[in-house]
Structure 1
Amino acid sequence: MTENPTSFQRINADMISKFKGQYVTLVGKLIQSKGDYVEFSVDGTIVKVTEIEEVPESTEDILLEIRGKLNEDGYLEAKEFTELDQTFDFELYKKVINMVQGQFRELFYD
């Protein structure tokens, strides 16, 4: 039986080591496909994403929100993804994630 998570915690690159083994959401830019995984830039940190299907192809930056499970090696095993608009504000998102995982955590997670 496969795991079906009910929620994916939103994190940024600075939080990856604290969330290994958990279901998370990462937002960043698709860099390139490497065969059995893709390289994904989250706050300038390269994250290897496996199990991702039907990756969009484009000559411009592709912005994605990827939900999946972080394994112990730091790879993200993708469950699903959403392509984001090119106007997405990464700086504002990072500030929100710091608040969600910090002083306002109890409002979002048990």
Structure 2
Amino acid sequence: MINFNIEYVQNILRKCNVNDLVVHPHILDNWFERDYNLNYVANCLVNEVPLSISKTCENRFKLIYPHEKNKNDDLYIIIVIDDFDNVEVLTVYSFNKRRRERDIERK
């Protein structure tokens, strides 16, 4: 398995088409309870610049975007990239944006 860096992931996402995204079944099971729009998630990944991106393990990345509806929250999108540059969305959840802002303040 290729060990991607953040720059490479950003390039993959820029070239990605919404129809190329693979959605993990976990997303489909929980999207209603977690209050996010799947179209918004796809749009963020393909068309928007994340507020933050970090590598969580070998080919897994956490991307943070503004929440579509709740201005006090951020939307966390966890993706994994395979050796063929396919993007799979593993999970999506919201979290209070103060968490991200505190992390920035600490740096």
Q: TM-score, normalised by structure 2?
A: 0.31
Instruction: Name the one with the larger helix percent.
Output: 2
Q: TM-score, normalised by structure 1?
A: 0.31
